[in-house]
Chains A and B, each alone.
Chain A
């Protein structure tokens, strides 16, 4: 059973460029989360989808960030324009439900904005 699949694993880009991160959740999971991890702030929830619908995007830092989930097997997180302070590891995670079900994390995307 494949886990949560994220791509790319590493992304290096220049300030001002558009960055798109991709995620395929585990089949049958109806909850999807995007997290960002930095040394300073730890793991922060950016956005939560349930049944492909964004339920809580209060963690999205600003309008430069957007996320979509067009179907149950695919989600994207886009940053446009990117800034050096966006450099972090971005994790996608899924669970069967949004409650106390176990959260399964993807391997993450290491983003470096120069």
Chain B
């Protein structure tokens, strides 16, 4: 059973702080890793993807991947109230079945003004 685990939260951070969201996965052959943001009552939207160990930065967002530890994280710098949402970690294996995305249940983030 392939699993993706996230702390459900809620994670509360003050405006301007760094929000750190964490995700662990069980399938060692996983090759691709994604972070989706889902506002309440809306559909998920992709905000970051990462495929190699290390950090990947995009604006205020940084994704971090450590395949040896089976760990992926998302940092949000200078958090804004508009960042308040549920963040879903998703993992995809390589090769056969590479279409199959396994999602975590999400971490709810609240940014307090």
Q: Looking at the assembled complex, report how far the CB atom of B108 sits from the nearest CB atom of chain A, in whole angstroms.
A: 11
Question: B103 to chain A: which residues have CB within 8 Å?
Answer: 42-44
Q: How would you classify the secondary structure of chain A's contact residues: helix, strand, loop or mixed?
A: strand
Q: How many residues of B contact A (CB 8 A)?
A: 19
* Bound Cα distance A108, B26 (Å): 28
Contact partners of A63 in chain B: CB under 8 A: none
Name the residue among A41, A55, A100, A106 with the largest chain B CB count within 10 angstroms: A100
Main secondary structure of the interface of B (DSSP, over half): loop
- Flag whether B98 is at the interface (Cβ < 8 A): yes
Which residues of B are interface residues toward A (Cβ below 8 A)? 32, 42-46, 49, 51, 88, 92, 97-101, 103-106
Q: Do residues A103 and B98 form an inter-chain contact, with CB atoms below 8 A?
A: no
Asked if A99 contacts B105 (CB within 8 A), the reply is no
